[in-house]
Amino acid sequence: MSVKYEIRYASHPADAKNYDTKKLREEHLVERVFVIDEISLVYSMYDRLIVGGAFPATKPLVLETIDPLKAPNFLHRREIGIINTGGAGKVKAGNEEYTLDHKEALYVGCGDHELVFSSDNVAQPAKFYLNSAPAHKPLPTRKVTKADAVVLEMGSLETSNARRINRMLVREVIETCQLQMGMTELQPGSVWNTMPAHTHVRRMEAYFYFEVPQGQAVCHFMGQPDETRHIWMKNEQAVISPVWSIHSAAGTSNYTFIWGMAGENLDYNDMDTVPPDGLL
């Protein structure tokens, strides 16, 4: 079987205060998103978001159902967002096939259609980053490029956070049940993302960091605003952020990250911000 998964359970913020570095990483960090010729998944009990990657390096990969879903098909009661972070590849959803170039996205609604991932060139294989959430109704499959996205230019070089936010799988662009995804690209000379930091108790979030240069790293900040924690992250790793936690980072270089959210609110701007001088 080319689909491997693990389950991560939710934690109370009071319990998380007792985590040491090792335990914090075990609960929230996804160290290996891409495994050659496998689909790797983490089933999080935070809004039941599934985070993972499909890496069809030498052969096509089928997204088979996993036991916790108790469903005949992975998408039987789920929607999925896919963003390609590697070379060109294809996603076959049912009888339709979609080509995804680097940094292009695909939304697939719930239903019993099979998903198959493949690469166009084994020398430059595709790397499909995946977020999947429960869905209450089927919606059309749609490819979304950066040209389709709602683009926000935020920050400045003076505050080391000049960045472009590409809101791709959001309600202003495409209808989803609860899933939202997008991609933030930091400009050269900028290292901070998501400032001011914030929480949103109406939805959880996961970050996937990539395009982190060799030898560099990203320090991801989480925890409650009055008791923050951190996790050092390498290229192509993901982190699961609870609803009670901030989600922000600073790198030793500029980088790109994909954010994905699930929950009861589709309003991107619905957040509780914390000014930088208010963090502890």
**Token code pair at residue 124:** 């430059």
pLDDT tens for each residue of 222-231 = 999 999 999 9
| pLDDT 10s digits, 25-53 | 999 999 999 999 999 999 999 999 999 99
User: Looking at residues 66-79, what average pLDDT do you find?
Assistant: 97
Indicate if the pLDDT at residue 61 is higher than 80: yes
- Per the CB < 8 A criterion, the answer to whether 94 and 74 are in contact is no
Write out pLDDT tens, residues 77-105: 999 999 999 999 999 999 999 999 999 99
- Note the pLDDT of residue 47: 96
Q: Answer yes or no: is pLDDT of 268 > 90.
A: no
The DSSP code for 46 is: S
Q: Tokens 């595709």 sit at which residue?
A: 126
Q: What percent of the chain has pLDDT over 70?
A: 100
pLDDT bin (cut points 50, 70, 90) of residue 266 is confident
Label residue 270 by pLDDT band (50, 70, 90). confident
Q: Which of the four pLDDT bands, split at 50, 70 and 90, describes residue 267?
A: confident
pLDDT of residue 157: 94
**List of residues 6+ apart from 47 with CB closer than 8 A:** 133, 178, 203, 204, 243, 262, 263
Query: For a pLDDT cut of 90, what percent of the chain falls above it?
Result: 93
Q: What average pLDDT does the segment 113-121 reach?
A: 96
Pairing of strands 39-44, 50-54: antiparallel
Q: Bigger pLDDT: 38 or 264?
A: 38
**Residues of the domain holding 53:** 3-278
Number of structural domains (the chain) is 1
**pLDDT the model gives residue 96:** 96
Where does the pLDDT of residue 194 fall: very low under 50, low under 70, confident under 90, or very high at 90 and above?
very high
pLDDT(71) > 90: yes
pLDDT digits (tens, 9 = 90+) for 233-250: 999 999 999 999 999 999
pLDDT over threshold 90, residue 269: no
Residue 72 has a CB neighbour count (10 Å cut-off) of: 8
Q: Which of 120, 116, 81 is nearest to 102 (CA)?
A: 120
- pLDDT value, residue 144: 98
Please say if the pLDDT value at position 209 is more than 90.
yes
CATH number at residue 132: 2.60.120.10
Average pLDDT, the chain: 96
Task: Average the pLDDT over 104-108 and give the result.
Answer: 98
Lowest mean pLDDT among 169-173, 193-197, 246-250: 193-197
